[in-house]
Structure 1
Amino acid sequence: MKEINFKDTRGSSLFKIKNGSSIMLQALDNKPVSITCRYIDERSFYLKNARFSFKEFAELVEQNSCIFYPEHGTAKTYEIYQIHSDKEHDYKFMHYSYAKHQFHAKHYTKVYMGMMSEQTSLESIFYKHNLDYRPFARKMRSLSVSNVIVVNDHGKSKAYYVDSFGFKEVPQFLQQLNQTKHKEYAR
């Protein structure tokens, strides 16, 4: 039986599913939707009834801040959080040693979601989201100091503060984010 091998925009493998299986496709701040996929050849597949090349599909989801994963599985993804644009916080664009005492997930909004291959690094995400032709450029600022990148690696998540030089792991961000979500659901 043929397998459908999903790839990122650089051609690196993300995951495989069997022909006729479904993926979950999720846009920013929306619930995932199950869509059946059918193998055509090594370069293309049907997503429901629409024909896509793997490269075309990867570019489409990247430009529109979407993620996708096997219906009965997981994939490696990332999320970018930026400080709310409607609120001024003393630590916007500041290094972590300055921000650590006021840093809190409630000051942030998720502005992007994307796919990661095993070759994707935090540095490559930073580079990609600082290009003039970066994904989702009209809807988010370029990635900068004080932003947070959350890496979801097959069910395990880690958060990283974009610092002046490199990235600082901030596990409290995920805890605070979960507390904020629980408060919203309780309303």
Structure 2
Amino acid sequence: MKEINFKDTRGSSLFKIKDGSSIMLQALDNKPVSIVCRYIDERSFYLKSARFSFKEFARLVEQNSCIFYPEHGTAKTYEIYQICSDKGYDYIFMHYSFAKHQLHAKHYTKVYMGMMSEHSSLESIFYKHNLDYRPFAHKMRSLSVSDIIVINDHGKSKAYYVDSFGFKEVPQFMQQLNQIKYKEYAR
């Protein structure tokens, strides 16, 4: 049986599914939808009835802040959270040592979701989101100090504060984010 090998925009493998299986496709702040995929050849596939090259599909989901994963599985993804500049939080663009006592997930908005290959890193995400032609540039500012990157690695999530130099893991952000999501779900 043929396998469909999904790749990122750099050509790195993300995951494989069997021909005729489904992926879950999720846009920013929407629920995932299940879509059947069919193998055409090594360079292209059908997503429902639409034909895509793997490169074209990767570019499309990257530019539109979407993630996708096997219907019965997971993939490595990331999310970017930024402080709303009009809310008046005084630690926007500040280094971690200044922000650590006021940092709270409720001050942040999820502005981007993306796919990660095994070759992706925090540094490569930072680089990608600081290019002139960065993904979702019309909807979010470039990645900067005080932003949060959440890495979702096959069901395990970790949050990192973008600091002046490097990244600082912030487990309290994940705890706060999960509490916010739980309260929203309980409504």
Q: TM-score, normalised by structure 2?
A: 0.99
Distance across 1 between alignment mates of 2:162 and 2:5: 32
Distance across 2 between alignment mates of 1:33 and 1:85: 32
1:49 to partner: Cα distance: 0.2
Corresponding residue of 2:49: 49
Distance across 2 between alignment mates of 1:128 and 1:88: 27
Moved over 6 A (4+): none
1:182 to partner: Cα distance: 2.0
Q: Which runs of 5+ in 1 are unaligned?
A: none
User: In the alignment, is residue 140 of structure 1 matched against residue 128 of structure 2?
Assistant: no
1:88 to partner: Cα distance: 1.3
Corresponding residue of 2:163: 163
Which residue identity is paired with 2:101? H
1:176 to partner: Cα distance: 0.2
Q: Deviations over 1:56-98 (max 9, x none)?
A: 0000000000000000000000000000233011100000000
Distance across 1 between alignment mates of 2:146 and 2:72: 35
Corresponding residue of 1:97: 97
Q: For the aligned residues, what is the CA RMSD?
A: 0.7
Corresponding residue of 2:75: 75
Which residue identity is paired with 1:39? Y
1:185 to partner: Cα distance: 2.9
Which residue identity is paired with 1:41? D
Q: Deviations over 1:5-47 (max 9, x none)?
A: 0000000000000000000000000000000000000000000
Corresponding residue of 2:29: 29
Q: Map of 1:98-113 to 2, 5 A cutoff?
A: 98-113=98-113
Q: Is contact 2:85–2:92 with CA below 8 Å preserved after alignment?
A: no
Report the count of equivalent residues. 187
Q: Which runs of 5+ in 2 are unaligned?
A: none
Provide the secondary structure at the position in 1 that maps to 2:87. coil
Distance across 1 between alignment mates of 2:150 and 2:10: 21
Counting aligned pairs with the same residue, the percent is 90
Distance across 2 between alignment mates of 1:40 and 1:86: 48
Distance across 1 between alignment mates of 2:25 and 2:184: 24
Distance across 2 between alignment mates of 1:66 and 1:20: 21
1:113 to partner: Cα distance: 0.1
